[in-house]
């Protein structure tokens, strides 16, 4: 069993890695919301990047403890997925992940040329 200690290096403890993406129709289910598996893939990707940047070596995902989808991401929404290293051991690294819509705009609020002239 590997002991895990809280990260002590101040420059790396708070470092956050972010990916920003847009939800396209091919990424959604029949409700027009992001597939859970696509969201998980984005979280896994950003966790890999955060871990690799922290240790400067390659990692694989061994396990996830809990995933809660709090709100849906719809077609056209811009989403941000962020991760930061929490605990480092000799052979493991715990990474905190977050996945949320970026408050840039709601696609329903975009004014199209047809609406503008009405």
Q: For position 104, what pLDDT does the model report? A: 54
CA 8 to each of CA 26, 91, 99: distance values in angstroms, whole numbers, following the listed order: 42, 17, 25
The token pair at 77 is: 């929404």
Q: Is 59 exposed, middle or buried (0-12, 13-18, 19+ CB in 10 A)?
A: middle
Among residues 90, 71, 83, which one has the least CA distance to residue 5?
90
pLDDT digits (tens), the chain, 118 positions: 444 444 444 335 558 888 889 999 999 999 999 999 998 898 889 888 888 888 877 778 888 888 888 888 889 888 888 888 887 777 677 777 776 666 555 555 555 555 555 5
């Amino acid at each position: 069993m590997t002991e895990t200690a809280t990260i002590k290096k101040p420059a790396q403890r708070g470092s956050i890695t972010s990916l920003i993406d847009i939800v396209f129709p091919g990424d959604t289910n029949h409700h027009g919301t992001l597939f859970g598996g696509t969201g998980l893939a984005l979280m896994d990707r950003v966790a890999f990047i955060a871990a690799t940047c922290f240790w400067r070596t390659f990692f694989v995902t061994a396990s996830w403890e809990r995933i809660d989808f709090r709100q849906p991401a719809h077609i056209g929404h811009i989403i941000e997925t962020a991760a930061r290293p929490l605990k480092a051991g000799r052979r493991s690294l715990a990474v905190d992940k977050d996945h949320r819509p970026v408050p840039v705009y709601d696609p329903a609020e975009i004014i199209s040329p047809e609406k503008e002239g009405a």
